[in-house]
Amino acid sequence: MGVKQLHLGLFLMGSGHHIASWRHPDVDSNQVTTFNYFAEIAKKAEAGKLDMLFLSDGLSFHELSHPAELSRFEPISLLSALAVVTKRIGLASTVTTTYNEPFHVARKFLSLDHLSGGRAGWNVVTSYYESEAKNFSKSEHLAHHDRYIRAKEFLDIVNGLWDSWEPDALVRNKEEGVYFEKEKLHRIHHTGTYFSVEGPLNIARSPQGKPVIIQAGSSDAGVDLAAKSADIIFTAQDNLADAKAFYQRVKDKVQAYGRNPEHVKIMPGVSVYVGSTREEAVEKYEQLQQLITPEVGQNLLSEYLGGYDISPYDVDGPLPEIPETNGNKSRRALLIKLAEEKQLTIRELYQYVAGSRGHRLIFGTAEEIADDLENWLQEDGADGFNLMLPSFPNSLDDFVDQVIPVLQERGIYRKDYTGSTLRAHLGLPEPVYKSPILNNQ
């Protein structure tokens, strides 16, 4: 068995993941809605041989949302454009199962997959902002449990539609006038709790078998869905002990479903500050922290606590008891635990969230950053990381120019791409074709 290899994704987010990144003097926030801005970031990430670019998405916002959410491109549109200016790097995005239809989603991602030569990935989410419901003619959000029931059915349908065509169905025989073999085109004939879909999908099978499936929930329902269906799991883990426990929990669950645990990659989010010394790296962080206004910090924390409004409470006091909500449960639990263990005030907690959006922070030299990432890899705390860099393009330049060469020298990261698809980058086999006829529910 060879040396375990690290996988890295770049999470694109406006001017950066730090909520005050747009205020940094080195950031030109006027460029974040131009294609050239994202094209240059994509090309730099590809130069660093990263596995993929990743775009999150949301279907609502309010006046105090993260600045990157106030003006964001529809992700499939942007990724399709980025496919033209890149050659190898994967292209993945979030699309919710709660406010979409399976046929549309199956078609969009398979189109992106063909346009990019097999580089597409879909992050399956169920949405957790109540405000999204009001943009889709609904008065309230589906309950958490019901969202995951819908998501499972949705994902089953999409996978079935992606198997509409057998791998060798399109023969395009000019002499005999046969474009495809009819017996190798299949309908799913699905009737279920939420959907009725006949099929087939009107686009050929994926160049990589199927687009890569990503799942980002760490709740019991989220882990169960991921263990059954996902190729990558995004998660927020603040320390190695908890990360190892989550890693083992997921891998055991994957194996229990009869899947190979090595074919599911766990990639926690991480925010990285690189400096010539650790002190310089911390100084970069503190410079951004000083740009956070209390109003914005409180509001951001409220969002990550499931929508519970903490503005009436003293920012220099402890976090109050946070009731259960219908929002994001895993992130809420992580932040409550963090506040309790470290005795953080509301101000300290929102400063933490503002700097990393609830994910882990790393400060140090390129060698120290590489040490940290390698340790998590070798200790089975992660198979890779989703890089949530504080500001663009500076933080990306620091990581690609300084950290990537160290990882390459240690033999745990590629010096060049060896394949052309996202599955190849991740070391995942092409899915075996299955008959797409689903069991009616």
Tally of CB atoms within 10 A around 32: 22
CA 358 – CA 118 distance, rounded (Å): 32
Tally of CB atoms within 10 A around 305: 26
Write the DSSP assignment of 352-384 as a string of letters: HHHHHTTSEEEEE-HHHHHHHHHHHHHTTS-SE
- Tokens 């065509």 belong to 165
- Does the annotation place 144 within a ligand binding site? yes
Label each residue of 122-145 as H, E or C.
EEEECCCCHHHHHHCCCCCCCCHH
CA 142 – CA 127 distance, rounded (Å): 9
- Does the annotation place 94 within a ligand binding site? yes
Q: Is 22 helix (H, G, I), strand (E, B) or coil?
A: helix
- Which neighbouring-strand residues pair with 188? none
CA 323 – CA 270 distance, rounded (Å): 27
Cβ neighbours for 8, distance < 8 A, ≥ 6 positions apart: 48, 50, 51, 384, 385, 387, 413
> Taking Cα atoms as reference points, which of 304, 315, 393 lies closest to residue 353?
304
Q: Is 317 helix (H, G, I), strand (E, B) or coil?
A: coil
- Does the annotation place 57 within a ligand binding site? yes
CA 304 – CA 328 distance, rounded (Å): 7
Cβ neighbours for 32, distance < 8 A, ≥ 6 positions apart: 14, 15, 22, 68, 71
Alpha carbons within 13 angstroms on the beta-carbon side of residue 179 total 3
Cβ–Cβ < 8 Å for 395, 13: no
Cβ–Cβ < 8 Å for 311, 298: yes
CA 41 – CA 394 distance, rounded (Å): 10
CA 133 – CA 130 distance, rounded (Å): 6
Report the binding-site residues. 57, 94, 144, 148, 218-219
Report the binding-site residues for FMN. 57, 94, 144, 148, 218-219
